[in-house]
Chain A
């Protein structure tokens, strides 16, 4: 069984966000594997351990992303592929590049993240599935593969769905799917010798026209500063009294007293 994981490196949103010259400052920022993609990598490695599979991790990005790919290799993936993302500026373009790579590569299971924690459009993985003509199940919390069929569990609006799907198919991981492992020291040593292949758009037969952006970012801003929060003083009685008035004011029932 061939399993391919689509993985993005992201800005750690635990970090403080600063704008410098209208851009988000990235100096000294911690870069991590997108947490939802980490669940996807873990699930792929478990499939390998439990059923036998070869696991390839694919990422679109710049050369710094090699670090995240090495981490995935240390977790147990067998191979990594880094597609140069220099000329890819929107979700459609990134999905095109991934699809072009996948169209030439055999696989049974595609795993990805539910969305990225930085940009969070939740588009790339589903676009890839559609472009390749494959079914997908998003935000899964359980996956069982049996022959050419997968059974998975997902939550939609509070309902818990069980979905059966024929392979090949794409699945996006939701929190709860598994607990990702930390790479072990031997894992990290082995990862250094595992293959990491660089791929360019040219290699994929894509022209600048094919990936020309459809959308553009024109501005970045920080949320309007909330008025410094006010701590209510007094005893419980007084605090509850003030809170009640504040709430009724906000819900338009202010006349209530």
Chain B
């Protein structure tokens, strides 16, 4: 018997986030034969993202749009999805483990009186038996969990599961009106946009990250160039943010963003556990640090002991040469 799965999809700047398609693929895996998948999108204007989402096979894409939903706020977003949950009565709800997904999921789990497994990096399904793997202890260990009773609520870490590839479908898009919660007890009164010029760190295939060793805001320039030739994104350690070399929106780690790129290049970062928590799952880790004893080398696949200001520009130059050679 197939299951009913609800995907709480996410958009940013009117573009569907890649992790939404990863959640959709997980939904397909868990729904099973004869299963039923419904996605929900919440925001101020979700039309473009809904089109992208509806390009993938599913029963329907539900849109809940209103001006007040422009910025994530727990009460409002919960009020947006609750009627859909109550109507669809999902066996399983899947959300991205992003700033908003991780905030909304426990409310949904509590509403359904359900268990929740957070920050999942792998799902294994053998017949009816489904297990979920997640990092614990800042990535120093993994636990495998299973649900004992339904419904299930799951949040998935971006960039770890395969994205859905059922393109070319034309799922129906259904619009629902938004009803504000009464009484309205909380409200976003101001939003300062930061770092919107940089690409979405959590979805980048290459991340070039700078730490205190970068020494100044100008010191980030060679890193930005390296990121650019690789079509990657710029990241930073907490110390670099605290020192004012870059904006906090670039921070990677336990209190910052969690990234799982194909290549992570740590420049002038010592490798504190709180930083590792945000990047140790990266597929390939390269460390450039002048201190050969720095703990970052313990988890790096390749290390260069040396001055980042010498190595990074040279590396950028080499990459530029090699990439142009191939394209021409």
Residues of A with Cβ closer than 8 Å to B? 11, 13-14, 17, 19, 24, 90-92, 95, 114, 117-124, 126-127, 130-131, 135-139, 151, 155-166, 169, 174-176, 212-223, 226-227, 229-232, 236-237, 239-241, 243-248, 250-251, 253, 255-257
Contacts and interface: CB of A to CB of B under 8 A. Distances in A.
Interface string B272-284: 0100010010011
Interface string B150-181: 00000000000000000000000000000000
A14 B138 CA distance: 9
A162 B188 contact: yes
Nearest to B296: A229
B319 A244 contact: yes
Contacts, number: 260
B206 to A, nearest CB: 6
Given A117-B254, A218-B131, A247-B286, A240 B311 contact: yes
A130 B107 contact: yes
B323 interface: yes
B216 interface: no
B192 A160 contact: yes
Given A230-B303, A256-B326, A121 B116 contact: yes
Contacts of B194: 158-160
Given A126-B107, A221-B141, A239-B306, A163 B73 contact: yes
B88 interface: no
29 contacts: A17-B137, A17-B141, A114-B255, A123-B106, A123-B118, A127-B106, A127-B109, A131-B110, A136-B74, A155-B248, A157-B12, A161-B190, A216-B146, A217-B144, A218-B131, A219-B144, A223-B139, A223-B280, A230-B303, A231-B303, A232-B302, A239-B311, A241-B318, A243-B286, A244-B318, A244-B319, A250-B263, A250-B283, A257-B325
Contact of B322 (A130, A139, A248): A248
B9 to A, nearest CB: 15
A255 B326 contact: yes
A151 B187 CA distance: 10
Given A127-B106, A222-B141, A165 B186 contact: yes
B273 A13 contact: yes
A175 B284 contact: no
A135 to B, nearest CB: 4
B182 interface: no
Contacts of A138: 74, 103
Interface in B107-151: 107, 109-111, 113-119, 131, 135-149
A100 to B, nearest CB: 14
Contacts of B29: none
Give chain B's interface residue range (CB within 8 Å of chain A).
35 or more
Contacts of A176: 255
Identify whether the interface residues of A are mostly helix, strand, loop, or mixed.
mixed
Given A17-B137, A219-B143, A256-B326, 6 more contacts: A157-B98, A176-B255, A239-B311, A247-B230, A247-B265, A257-B322
B228 interface: no
Contacts of A240: 311, 314-315, 317-318
A142 to B, nearest CB: 12
| Most chain B C-beta atoms within 10 Å of own C-beta, residue among A214, A217, A226 | A214
Contacts of A122: 102, 106, 118-119
B205 interface: yes
A229 B12 contact: no
Nearest to A246: B302
Contact of A163 (B135, B189, B297): B189
